[in-house]
Amino acid sequence: MEKAWHQADSCEIISREGQPGTAPLKMLFSGYRASLKNKAAEAMAQLSTLEDADKAVDERRTVLYNKVVTSYHKAKIERATLARELEAVKVEAAKVPQLETDLRVARAQCAESEEAGRSAAAKLKVADGELTRLRQLEKNHLAELASLRTAEKEKVDDLSRRLDEVEKQRLELQKEVRQVHGADGYRQALDGLAWRD
């Protein structure tokens, strides 16, 4: 039976309307072959589209990763610079206790001079001159101390604010790295950043 089917020039078919009939075998296989070719062409087109999309995603991911790495290193450099500036400000602020000590010494000298003036009338003019000098010294120390306190407080406040901004940028960069690479990629990205450091 199979041999007779292969040797036959036509075969029975059912039309789209459901009517039985016959058709040449060559026509049947030709249509089947054309249908397969069309499906294969569609599959290749879809595969090519997917490959192009995958390539575009890889390129975009690479660009984003490079931007993140660049921003991370820039933020790190800025943070180190701010840290050095803060240390310099702390050195200047360390002078304030010395000024306060000088001020206490000056006040003590002033008190001694006033006592000497009350106990020694003969030395009143000398004591008055010394008292005037010491009061001026106290005034100068107070003015200098107030000026230094104001300036150092402004510097410390400004550096603290800038450090907060840098820390916020660093957290945003870490979040972006997590979003781009996922959990495993994020660990690899941190390892890569640590290696570059």
pLDDT of residue 77: 92
The secondary element (H helix, E strand) that includes residue 54 is helix 25-93
- CA-to-CA dists, residue 36 to 16, 23, 29, 32, 50, angstroms: 19, 19, 10, 6, 21
Q: What confidence score (pLDDT) does residue 74 get?
A: 92
Interacting residues of 145 by C-beta distance below 8 A, sequence separation 6+: 96, 99, 100, 103
pLDDT value, residue 15: 58
What confidence score (pLDDT) does residue 117 get?
63
pTM over 0.75: no
Q: Say what the pLDDT of residue 23 is.
A: 58
Tell me the domain boundaries of the chain. Answer: 13-53, 65-197
CA 147 to chain centre: 36
Name the fold adopted by 65-197. Helix Hairpins (1.10.287)
pLDDT of residue 27: 56
How far apart (Å, rounded) are the C-alpha atoms in residues 184 and 182? 6
Reading the chain (197 residues) residue by residue, the pLDDT tens digits are: 445 545 455 556 665 666 676 655 555 566 667 777 888 888 888 888 888 888 999 899 899 999 999 999 999 999 999 998 988 888 888 888 888 888 889 888 888 877 776 676 666 677 677 778 888 988 888 888 888 888 888 888 888 998 999 989 988 888 888 887 665 555 555 565 554 44
State the pLDDT at residue 191. Answer: 60
Phi-psi region of 104 (alpha: psi -120 to 50; beta: other; left: phi over 0): alpha
